[in-house]
Amino acid sequence: MLKQISLIIFTIYFGSLSSAQTYDDCQGVFIQTGERLEYFSSASPLNEKRASVKKLTIDPPSLDFGSNPVGIAKRVKVTLHNPLQNAVVRMDAISGSTAHFHCSFFDEKVTGEGVPSPFRLMPFLGVKVSLNSSVSSWLELYNPFPTALHVEEMYTSDSSVHLDLPHSVFHPNRRLWNVLPFRTKHIATAKVIGNRVRNASAFIRLKTDNPTVQHPIIIPVEIEVTSQPGLYAGKSVVNFGLLSNEHRSPWNTITVYNTFNKPVKVANVAVDDPCLFVRFKHTIVANNHHKDTLIAKIAYDPRVALLDQRRYRSGSVKFFDDNKVLLLSVPYRVELIFNSDQLAFFTGSNNSHERIVNLTSTFPETIAIYQLSLHYQLQKYLTVYNLTKPILLKPNSSMPVLTLKFLPQYNEKRTKAGTLLSNVYLYTNLTKFAIPVRLFSGLLELTVLSSNGDVGELNFGQLNVGEKRSMFIRLANLNPLPVKLLRVTQDDVHNIALELLAVDTMRSRSTVEPFLPNHNFDQWTENEELVLPAESFAFYKCTISAPARLLSMKSHLTFETEFQKLNVDIKYTVEKESKVSVPGTIILDNCFPGKISGRSIKVFSKLHHEVSNVRVYLDKKDAGFSLTPFSQGAVKIKPFQFTRLARLLFTPSNLCVEDECYVGFPLDTVDGLLWVKGLKLPANLAELDFVLFSKHWSLWTDMRISFPAQANLIWPRLIKQDIIYFPLTAVGNSSVVNLLLRNPSNHPIAVQIIPLAIYPNPSHLLNSLNGFVEIDDVLMFSLRDSELYNPTESSPVPEYRKQLEKIAGISIPRFTLSFLLKPGAKLSAQLGFLPSDYQLRSSLLAIRNNLTGMEMVTMYGRGAKLELKIGNVLPQSNNLLMFEIQDRHLFDCETMQRLNRRFSSTFSVSRSLVARNSGELPLHVTNISVNGFSCQNRGFRILST
């Protein structure tokens, strides 16, 4: 009778795409029958003594696993035939001998090829965990189908591999395991627990409801549990995933735990890729393997090295101690998507026109476009047509995806502000693609540098006969496309020379090579065409030679492009004598809305006669500038003297559009009411503060771009120091540092100071500001002037709070420091640090105000060790101060007089003790006593100090 047993299951997985090759590692088989283990090779019979006995056969004779997704295991059933009719073969053990194939020792061939995984599941390879610790990784599933994918079953093959719910899920339901079409979702967290020392392999099995997925999805897990002490990372690898070459990745945290028997200091970090950015500070990792310590945050920015077109990139982040000894190496990987196409629309056109957007895919898998979003700045100018979702773009193919229609704005004046850089975002199964869209006006911006008058005028002032004077012109092309300068013409004036000095880009460059290396600026002539590249500027030098006759001249210099003509007025006067204005250029620094800046205008005359009826006025009306004369009537300028003409005032708040300035908002406005709402410390305070700060910061950046250079606007600050370092403080003691606040404006400012320890949801605030500050043990830092620490009646803090409550109309928590800061006033706040350990600690101090919205102060402090050794013995230790008593000290005690107590005892033993300060701070000894008694007690006496 022929028996066949369906017994053997071959399991295969591929660790990477480089593993796509044929493996032939099985050269024989060990078969254990009962208590006997025999080895059979391809050239050996099953039993050497009975060579005529037929061999066991396997069906099929060879295995071809075909194309298999990377990171997913595949199972194939193999049937074992026993040709013996009267003998039973018992299989007691089956084991494998390769890294990628789990198979028996039968001499059969297996082949396979690795292809990209349609579910984008990565195997958990190289997972190294310390004994009695754990490491976790997200399980993210991608749905490659046009319908929703539901995970029906999910379990592991090993008790050391646990599957936990995502951290943000507390009440799971069926929707948690529903993955929308062409989306990626975090469905579980795989945790590997090192409960015993071993090397093992496990599997995570997923079963879905899609009928096209015939077999369960199997994810292999390699586990290595070691008892060797060291630093271990909480993640086996940092996977940045798919990134566009135009965007930076989010910040990823690196946490470690220490299994050494002592703390380890991480002092330095090294990376092998210039695109990898690391936020790192010296950290002492305590010897506690149950608690993770944050040591760094890393992000990947491919914009740093755009010339490197490698799609797959990987490397490692290495951490060292003070002696440059490698402590830990954390690998990372990233896959880049390059997109360099862009669309440009000319805003000067009066006709609407359409443009079809064609996309070409160079990826090895199909791209599914399921959503499109148009930036709100583009919705005024562009409309999307012919978009049918979802759009499937096959590999190495091109197709029209959508149509963009440009809508001309007839009522909008075409200026340099018509230049707009934005994006059309396509949401695909790979990542979010950004298609750059550029709206350009074609206009150039001309600025005259070192001018006393209008920025569009070359006013050389009064020249002496034969004198030469030069001024400079900057011609800027803010458009995203090149603009051709056709020619430069001037009136019939032959004593003006124009020279091209340089052409450079406005964007920062990492090289020092010239922007136009093949252009010779020295040979440029005024009738020669010049192409200004996108986002670049040209510098010209205009030199005038005063003729040998007295005259007053006005002429023009014209820059002509295909879109406009820029005219620059030229003015100068030739005299035998001249007067000099001091200063030549009036510059007002440190200006911001809420502050009025001013400067006196003085003139020095070299004329030999008095000049009367002098009046000062502004050539151009500007709401921000005003003149205040020092006298009501006409001013007289006396010869060879300084004369004060007027005071130039600059009020930036007059330039605010619709009374909305980039800093400063009254409490009765919309922004002010939003700020007042945060005085009660609601749960969403981080969102309120970030909305206010980001709104006014964007207004500030826009103002900086468009404002002329004669007045320098700044972002005002209430504090001068962004970082506060507390001195070394003994553990258990406290130190105090003063923080000085000053109101730089001309209006009262409402201020609320909040430590991070009482800030609602501080993690939301740190995530909004991308801050790298540990928020554990923030109770070490305190606000000492608050009513929580200083409840005395003599403190003025409660009165300050009540004054602000009366203005705001709401109650304010007592544990904050809230007050109204008058114009120009200063206030000093005390900050405290009470360390409980010897590690470097940091925290934040939020300063909310209605001038800038919010300011942040970073505080650093470290606890120091106080240690005093007396005779090399630590106080309160089990070691004792020993006094050595020898025989000669007791010789006199045996005399009869001593025994009859006729004489008092003169026995004494002395010892010199050395006190040594082995700590980090100086110690001041104020008292020495024995059991609380000065000098002596219980037979011990202090002789001298």
Bridge-partner residues for 499, per DSSP?
541
Cis geometry, peptide bond prior to residue 583 (ω within 30 degrees of 0): yes
Cis geometry, peptide bond prior to residue 60 (ω within 30 degrees of 0): yes
658, amino acid identity: E
Q: Which residues contact 410 (CB under 8 A, 6 or more apart)?
A: 350
| pLDDT (0 to 100) of residue 342 | 57
Q: Which residues contact 413 (CB under 8 A, 6 or more apart)?
A: none
Q: How many CB atoms lie within 10 A of CB 833?
A: 25
Q: How many CB atoms lie within 10 A of CB 202?
A: 19
CA separation for the pair 204, 163 (Å, rounded): 9
| pLDDT (0 to 100) of residue 380 | 78
CB 566 within 8 A of CB 454: no
The gap between the terminal CA atoms of the chain, to the nearest Å, is 105
CA separation for the pair 737, 484 (Å, rounded): 60
Read off the tokens for 593: 């809305």
| pLDDT (0 to 100) of residue 644 | 78
Domain 129-228 belongs to what topology? Immunoglobulin-like (2.60.40)
229-338 with 670-864: one CATH topology? Answer: yes
Domain boundaries, the chain: 3-115, 129-228, 229-338, 343-440, 443-578, 580-659, 670-864, 868-941
Strand positions, DSSP E, 701-776 = 711-713, 723-725, 729-730, 735-742, 749-755
Q: Which CATH number fits domain 670-864: 3.40.50.720, 2.60.40.10, 1.10.3470.10, 3.30.70.20?
A: 2.60.40.10
| pLDDT (0 to 100) of residue 753 | 92
**CATH number for the domain running over 443-578:** 2.60.40.10
CB 591 within 8 A of CB 652: yes
Q: How many CB atoms lie within 10 A of CB 932?
A: 6
Read off the tokens for 261: 């028997």
Could you tell me the CA-to-CA distances from 70 to 215, 242, 279, 332, 387 in Å, in that order? 15, 16, 33, 18, 34
pLDDT, averaged per 10 consecutive residues of the chain (945 residues), comes to 37 40 44 50 45 65 72 72 75 56 51 73 78 82 85 86 76 78 84 84 86 82 84 81 74 87 87 85 80 87 66 84 83 69 69 78 76 79 78 80 76 53 79 77 80 61 77 84 83 76 63 42 71 83 80 82 85 67 67 81 72 66 73 73 79 72 81 84 82 77 47 82 89 91 90 88 73 62 84 82 88 89 90 89 89 88 87 75 74 64 66 83 82 72 71
Per DSSP, 726 falls in state: P
Q: Which residues contact 308 (CB under 8 A, 6 or more apart)?
A: 275
CA separation for the pair 308, 302 (Å, rounded): 9
CA separation for the pair 258, 264 (Å, rounded): 7
CA separation for the pair 637, 614 (Å, rounded): 8
Report the candidate in 508, 513, 500, 504 with the shortest Cα–Cα distance to residue 473.
Answer: 500
CB 455 within 8 A of CB 447: yes
364-397: buried (b, 16+ CB within 10 Å) or exposed (e) per residue? ebbbbbbebebeeebeebbebeeeeeebebeeee
Read off the tokens for 645: 């003409």
Number of H helices, E strands in the chain: 6, 66
The distance from CA 897 to its chain's CA centroid, rounded to whole angstroms, is: 88
CA separation for the pair 660, 670 (Å, rounded): 10
Q: Using DSSP, state whether 189 is helix, strand or coil.
A: strand
CA separation for the pair 314, 336 (Å, rounded): 11
- Nearest 5°: CA angle at 257, between 252 and 259? 160
Q: Which CATH class is domain 343-440?
A: mainly beta
CB 297 within 8 A of CB 252: yes
| pLDDT (0 to 100) of residue 170 | 61
Read off the tokens for 422: 């934005």
CA separation for the pair 648, 581 (Å, rounded): 14
Q: Which residues contact 291 (CB under 8 A, 6 or more apart)?
A: 257
Q: Which CATH superfamily is domain 229-338 in?
A: Immunoglobulins (2.60.40.10)
Read off the tokens for 864: 């120091």
The distance from CA 89 to its chain's CA centroid, rounded to whole angstroms, is: 64
> Which residue stretches of 740-796 are H helix?
762-769
Predicted TM-score (pTM) of this structure: 0.43
Read off the tokens for 341: 């196409």
Q: Which residues contact 548 (CB under 8 A, 6 or more apart)?
A: 465, 466
Q: Which residues contact 940 (CB under 8 A, 6 or more apart)?
A: 930
